[in-house]
């Protein structure tokens, strides 16, 4: 009887030890799994943060490049505007040969100096880019039309004689309509000059040499 009791107690002890060992082993295994899960989750979060930072940096770089492109475009447009203005000023100064469509107004009557001035002003106002009278080109340094004692008209030291040819480079339709409109220069001349002989000819090409 005593032997059975001792055997039973020994069995209980051994079983307890085995159960304890299994519990400890399971706890360690669970702890390892938790640690791996936490590490994996931390790695995922770290990768997400790296991707987020990379995307933000890339977005900032794109914005910087777009700003640089916009500034470059603005500078290019500004440079082109300046170059166009320089070309325009050179044309007005007569420093460049010019050619293009335009009109030629021919007047066969003798004209007083005031009509030359009015005609030129009308041509400039209508958008002419370059103007000449009897092949004498007007520039920003042109003093104006001088009336000589015998009634002749002088331009830049050149005496003008009829027929007078007013050439203007520009939009030929626009300039023609401006000169021919009611109360325009043509109508005023017809009302004040007897037997006025005037003709407007639209041309595809007019050439003017630079002023030497």
- Name the band, by pLDDT with cuts 50, 70 and 90, for residue 44: low
Specify the DSSP class assigned to residue 209. Answer: P
**CA gap 207, 191 in Å, rounded:** 32
Choose among 188, 131, 142, 140: nearest CA to 164.
131
pLDDT in tens, 84-109: 777 777 777 778 899 999 999 999 99
Q: Which residue has the higher pLDDT, 85 or 25?
A: 85
Determine the average pLDDT of the residues in 169-181: 96
Q: Answer whether 180's CB lies under 8 Å from 186's CB.
A: yes
Write out the two tokens for 185: 């220069």
Residue range 144-153: mean pLDDT, rounded? 88
Instruction: Determine what percent of the chain falls in helix, strand and coil, rounding each to the nearest 5.
Output: 60, 20, 25
* Of 189 and 63, more confident: 189
Q: For 111-122, write each residue's pLDDT tens digit.
A: 999 999 999 999
Place of tokens 């899960």: 37
**Is the pLDDT confidence value at 127 over 90?**
yes
- Helix (H/G/I), strand (E/B), else coil: 175: helix
Mean of the per-residue pLDDT values of the chain: 79
| pLDDT number for residue 25 | 46
For the structural domain made of 98-208, what CATH number should be given? Answer: 3.30.70.1880
Alpha-carbon distances, residue 198 vs 9, 30, 77, 105, 118 (angstroms) = 141, 110, 43, 7, 15
pTM: 0.63
Torsion-angle region of 108 (φ positive above 0: left; ψ -120 to 50: alpha; else: beta): alpha
Which distant-in-sequence residues (6+ apart) come within 8 Å of 171 by Cβ? 101, 127
Query: Predicted confidence band at 143 (pLDDT cuts at 50, 70, 90)?
Result: confident
Domain limits of the chain?
A: 1-93, 98-208
Dihedral Cα 128, 131, 133, 137, nearest 10 deg: 180
Spatial separation of the C-alpha atoms in residues 39 and 60, rounded to whole Å: 31
Cis, bond preceding 163 (omega within 30 deg of 0): yes
> By three-state DSSP, how is residue 156 classified?
coil
Tell me which of 53-57, 141-145, 151-155, 163-167 is least confident: 53-57
């Amino acid at each position: 009887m005593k032997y059975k009791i001792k055997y039973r107690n020994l069995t209980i002890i051994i079983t307890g030890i085995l159960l304890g060992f299994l519990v400890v082993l399971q706890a360690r295994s669970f702890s390892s799994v938790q640690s791996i899960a936490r590490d994996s989750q931390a790695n995922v979060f770290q990768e997400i943060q790296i991707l987020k930072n990379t995307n933000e940096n890339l977005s900032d770089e794109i914005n910087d490049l777009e700003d640089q492109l916009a500034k470059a475009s603005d500078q290019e447009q500004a440079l082109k505007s300046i170059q166009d203005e320089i070309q325009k000023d050179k044309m007005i100064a007569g420093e460049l040969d010019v050619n293009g469509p335009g009109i030629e107004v021919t007047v066969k009557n003798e004209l007083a100096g005031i009509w030359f001035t009015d005609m030129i002003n009308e041509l400039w106002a209508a958008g002419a880019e370059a103007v000449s009278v009897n092949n004498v080109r007007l520039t920003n340094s042109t003093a104006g039309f001088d009336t000589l004692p015998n009634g002749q008209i002088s331009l830049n030291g050149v005496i003008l004689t009829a027929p007078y040819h007013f050439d203007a480079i520009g939009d030929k339709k626009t300039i023609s309509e401006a000169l021919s409109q009611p109360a325009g220069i043509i109508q005023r001349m017809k009302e004040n000059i007897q037997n006025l002989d005037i003709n407007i000819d639209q041309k595809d090409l007019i050439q003017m040499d630079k002023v030497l």
